[in-house]
Amino acid sequence: MLLRNLRMDKQKPRWVMGILQLVFVVAVIALALFFSAALKPDTNHSGGSRVSVTSDAGISVSVTNPLPRQFTPQVRLNGIVTARTQTSIVPQVGGQVIKVSDKFKQGAALKKGQILFKIDPSDYELTVGQAQANISAASSDLKVLEAEAKLATQEWTELFPNEQISDLAARKPQIAAAQARLEGTIAIKQTAELALSRTTVRTFDDVKVLSTSLNKGQIVAPNQSVGQVFAIGNIEISVPLSINDLQTLMPVLDRNATLLINGDAGKTDIGKIVRVDAVVDQRTRLANLFIRPNTPGHLTVGSFVNVLIDGPTQGNAIAIPQSALSERDKVWVVSNGALSARKVKRLGELDGAVIVSGFDTADGVLTFPPVEVIEGQKATIRETRREIGSD
């Protein structure tokens, strides 16, 4: 019995310590909650907070009274230089290449009418000579028949003065056939001369060479591609843009664009928007517009270009602070002592302010709308800020 009492005395302090530990833990949690509540910011004071002081007259708010202004939205985009079409260099006649221009090389620029290469013209010159000989023979035959016809007509008139000479006796069918043979030989010569002229291949326009596979001495066949070029006048800048940006620029056709060739510090040029994609890319939801630069010769296909495009000037725009937007396109105003929501159309940004289309600002636009606000909630104006951008 004595031994059992001793054991109970030894276990009692452990039980008491457990109770004390539990009380300590509860006390620590309570203190933590107390200090957390004490350190929570006072949302009943202004200074950038979206919750304003509440009184019997409603919440107290700061407003701004913006005035209508003119604004020209500007869209900044990135484009890539492209060639609208590429042309294969294909000789129309065959033969051995006897000359290749030093400029018929990849990346070279050539003016309209410059020689790219020449094909040996010997065979074609012989064909022209043969055609000329045939013309001479046909012409001689025709003259003989005409002379015979004249003589036959004179004899017939002397023998039969009161009768009409027949066509056969007057050599008319023979003369017609000879005339046709002469015209045929002339056509053959013209064809031979055309083939001869095609032995010299020239540029059809101001072009840049994309590729070439031609060497002197090479035998080429008609319609064999020996290189590719693109006309400098076909250079365009393809610029992808969102539907919102496209709507900002409407109407977009024939609108001028500033081209920053090598960044803002590089060379600039002016271009004109000539086309817009008929459909929107279903994956990216972007459309492409195409700009034709005024001086395309210095552009390199595949290079990137920064593009600045001014939209139509808006005469009834309003500048509001960024903080006035409770959503991307929603602001709150004070109207007859109550809060009222307004949907706005963003036009752009300027000097840190958001530019929107004009709307009814009533008694003022809230500069810091409360986090939780209800349509028709009472409000009093405690401060009216100056218009953004005013002196």
Q: 76-135, pLDDT tens digit by residue?
A: 999 999 998 999 999 999 999 999 999 999 989 999 999 999 999 999 999 999 999 999
| pLDDT tens track for 198-207 | 999 999 999 9
The domain locations on the chain are 54-72+314-385, 87-114+202-231, 122-197
Angle between helices 122-159 and 172-197 (to 10 degrees): 170
- DSSP letters, 51-91, are ---EETTEEEEEEE----EEE--EEEEEEEEEES--EEE--
Report H helices in 160-290: 172-197, 243-249
Cα–Cα distance between 36 and 33 in angstroms, integer?
Answer: 5
φ/ψ of 294, rounded to 5, equals -70, -35
Residue 7 above 50 pLDDT? no
Instruction: Look at the domain 87-114+202-231 and name its fold.
Output: OB fold (Dihydrolipoamide Acetyltransferase, E2P) (2.40.50)
pLDDT digits (tens, 9 = 90+) for 50-70: 444 444 557 899 999 988 889
Q: What is the mean pLDDT of residues 194-213?
A: 94
* In contact, 293 and 237? CB cutoff 8 Å: yes
Give kind and range of the element (H or E) at residue 268.
Answer: strand 268-276
d(CA 192, CA 93) in angstroms, rounded, equals 11
Q: What is the DSSP letter of 303?
A: -
In this predicted model, what pLDDT tens digit does every residue of 124-175 receive, in sequence order? 999 999 999 999 999 999 999 999 889 988 888 888 888 888 888 888 899 9
Report d(CA 227, CA 230) in Å as an integer.
11
**Band (240; pLDDT cuts 50, 70, 90):** very high
pLDDT tier at 391 (50, 70, 90 boundaries)? very low
Amino acid 345: pLDDT: 87
Nearest to 77 by CA among 311, 310, 307: 307
**CATH 2.40.420.20: does it fit domain 54-72+314-385?**
yes
**Mean per-residue pLDDT of the chain:** 85
* Cα–chain center distance at 25: 68
Give the span between the Cα atoms of 241 and 287, in whole angstroms: 6
Of 387, 318, 350, the closest CA to residue 63 belongs to: 387
